[in-house]
Structure 1
Amino acid sequence: MSTPAPDPIPAPARPVVVLRPAPQRTDRIFTPAALGSLRDRFTVVDLEKDPSEEALEEVLPDAFAIVGQPDLPAQRLSRAGRLRALLNVEGNFFPNVDYATCFERGIHVLGCGPAYAPAVAEYALALALDLARGISREDRAFRAGRERYVSDGNADAVLLQGSDVGLVGFGNLGRGLNRLLAPFRPTIRVYDPWLPPGVLGEHGVLPASLDETLSRSRFVFVLATVTDESRHLIGERELHLLPDGARLVLVSRAPVVDYPALLSHVARGRLMAGIDVWPDEPVAPDDPARSLDGLVLSAHRAGGIPAAFETIGDMVLDDLTLIAQGLPPARMQTAARELVGRYRNRPVT
């Protein structure tokens, strides 16, 4: 006589959402109202105070969604039989997940990049205006008693209005910045090898090669993500293509630019640059960048503002609600099967 099969383990009454958001904090990305709604709709297991691997292993079999991006190799994913969504709330897709397994199993892999895009785009525009008019430089001079009045302080000033502008990359950041630049009526050239000319044309920008984008632009915004192909995409050869007096704004990923080469051009007075991301953070106290007047320096703060963080929590709540109803997510960025494994991002600390 055969032994009857055991009854299947019943699923929890409400889908289980695991919170392990580090380096984010739950109270930073969720307003009290949003967190309350999340707890009303789901069984929330908060691992923020105990982010250990053991605690995660214990809840994996019941997890419907994980908010965060812990290490998820194929073996660990095999123990997460009910997992339907992985929601990255840091801002980068890391190579610590077996994405192929996620896609094979229909697990939604989502990122919060769209939440940061408006803040970063505004900041990039602010850096460009500063570089155009020497705002922070002349502020420092004024405080030191070296101010120059009227036209004396404007010998290298230029207009953003009507300028030739180049965008290197046209993802969330590029599209957000393109909208902000519209009132300045620039000519915008875009280099993005992941997009066909038709897509760029629909946004009113000119598709261009990297060389053309650099050589014909007074302002260049570096907005590309980092992959093996884009590491040092802007190197010595490319920097030489920029016209004398060009302004370069870097707000995406540090490895895209050869920093020693860029600082050399700035030190010689050929280029100016606004930099928000650095190869090593925090920047060393004796880093030569600190002493260059042709730089506007920023400590990786373009996107991390309260409005962006709270948007992340709202996105998570909305998309989890949709997925639980059998609908596709609508607010967070869906990882592309063909691209997510190519990113070489580092965590932001």
Structure 2
Amino acid sequence: MTRPLVLCAPEPRALDQIFTPQALSTLRDRYRLHETDAASVAALPSETLAEARYILGQPPLDESALAAMTSLRAILNVESNLLQNMPYAPLFERGIHVLTTGQVFAQPVAEIGLGFALALARQIVDADLDFREGREAWGLDGARRSRLLTGSDIGLVGYGDLGRALHRLLVPFRARLRVFDPWLPDAVIAEAGAEPADLDTVLAASDFIFVVASVTSENQGFLGADAFARMRAGAAFILLSRAGVVDFDALMAAVASGHIVAASDVYPEEPLPPGHPVRALPGFLRSAHRAGALTSALTRMGDMVLDDMALMDRGLPPARLKRAERETVARMRSKPVEKT
């Protein structure tokens, strides 16, 4: 029996990043792999397109290429973005699954987000740098600006996979957790043990604000100067999802003024140019889009891909990967980064 064909164009990743050696061996045993680059998929011979059961990656496709893919069952997107580079309506009409693996990043990003919050609350990085330079302040003198995460007011902007993973980590801190997510009914948030709130309340009533919302056509730059001005003096703003949801210049200005402190793993331009002002901004904790970049997270992708392909081979729906939704996929505006 001929093994099913998989078109492999997993940019920006490589197969040996996504799959452990054992999992990659399993993939090669179960399927025939046609490895190519994303830009070349739509131009493959028509007989190759017609035979493909799965696409591993997120290559640009036009309607004619998709029409030629008469055996296609799923596109398995191995990054956390949904690009506007294929005709989603015909995919949904034909019952072809568009699946994403971005949820593998939720736990590692949530953990580093918690680390950012603790570092800002206790000035851990600044204290270490002071110690190295011999200008440390001891005891209470070195902790006058410190505070506890325990018992604080915490706000989440967004409550998807990342927001929920972060919520689980925050439970032991006995904080009051308010959540703003316009794509969810209040009941979903309340049943998870958080308090639904509007954006103004989350901004004004929080000591720590975690931004974990995806960039959409409706929220680009929606956190600007007015939003930062509404935050409590000294509050910590922690940006974990995508820089496109904030006015980054306004964020830097709010930090530079001393009104808030901030941490970010993401930036409007990546990599940042050497002279970008955020590099030298006091009160700003910086991370180079590395929060989810763990080998253990990437190889979870391969396990999930294999599991769901095995289900679909049997005529069953995928169970581990997240499905793109017809109502929201066209609104997504997150951009891929060059280094992951």
Residue identity in the other structure for 1:197: D
Alignment of 1:287-302 (within 5 A): 287-302=276-291
| Residue of structure 1 equivalent to 2:130 | 141
Question: How far 1:48 moved relative to its partner?
Answer: 5.5
Q: Decide which of 53, 70, 86 is 2:59's aligned counterpart.
A: 70
Are 2:291 and 1:325 equivalent residues in the alignment? no
Question: How far 1:76 moved relative to its partner?
Answer: 1.1
Question: Does the CA-based 8 Å contact 1:137-1:293 persist in structure 2?
Answer: no
Residue identity in the other structure for 2:115: A
| Residue of structure 2 equivalent to 1:9 | none
| Residue of structure 1 equivalent to 2:236 | 247
Deviation track 1:149-181 (CA, whole Å, cap 9, x = no partner) reads: 111111111110011000000001000000000
Distance 2:226 2:278 in 1: 21
Alignment of 1:267-282 (within 5 A): 267-282=256-271
Question: How far 1:14 moved relative to its partner?
Answer: 2.0
Deviation track 1:207-235 (CA, whole Å, cap 9, x = no partner) reads: 00000011000000000011121111211
Alignment of 1:1-349 (within 5 A): 13-47=2-36, 54-55=43-44, 59-349=48-338
Distance 1:88 1:14 in 2: 21
Question: How far 1:57 moved relative to its partner?
Answer: 5.8
Percentage of pairs with the same residue: 48
Higher deviation after alignment, 316-325 or 58-67: 58-67
Distance 1:110 1:175 in 2: 20
Distance 2:129 2:48 in 1: 54
Distance 1:18 1:218 in 2: 48
Distance 1:101 1:155 in 2: 59
Question: How far 1:56 moved relative to its partner?
Answer: 7.1
Distance 1:134 1:127 in 2: 10
TM norm structure 1: 0.94
TM norm structure 2: 0.96
Question: Does the CA-based 8 Å contact 2:42-2:61 persist in structure 1?
Answer: no
Residue identity in the other structure for 1:286: G
Question: How far 1:187 moved relative to its partner?
Answer: 0.6
Question: Does the CA-based 8 Å contact 1:47-1:56 persist in structure 2?
Answer: no
Distance 1:50 1:270 in 2: 46
Deviation track 1:280-324 (CA, whole Å, cap 9, x = no partner) reads: 111121111111220110000011110110001111111111111
Question: How far 1:139 moved relative to its partner?
Answer: 1.1
Question: Does the CA-based 8 Å contact 2:108-2:291 persist in structure 1?
Answer: yes
CA gap 1:213/1:38 in 2 versus in 1, 3 angstroms? same
- Structure 1 SS opposite 2:33: strand
Distance 2:168 2:293 in 1: 20
Question: How far 1:39 moved relative to its partner?
Answer: 1.8
Distance 1:173 1:68 in 2: 22
- Structure 2 SS opposite 1:190: strand
Deviation track 1:126-160 (CA, whole Å, cap 9, x = no partner) reads: 11111111111111111122211111111111110
- Structure 2 SS opposite 1:119: helix
Which runs of no fewer than 5 residues in structure 1 stay unpaired? Answer: 1-11
Larger Rg: 1
Question: How far 1:50 moved relative to its partner?
Answer: 9.7
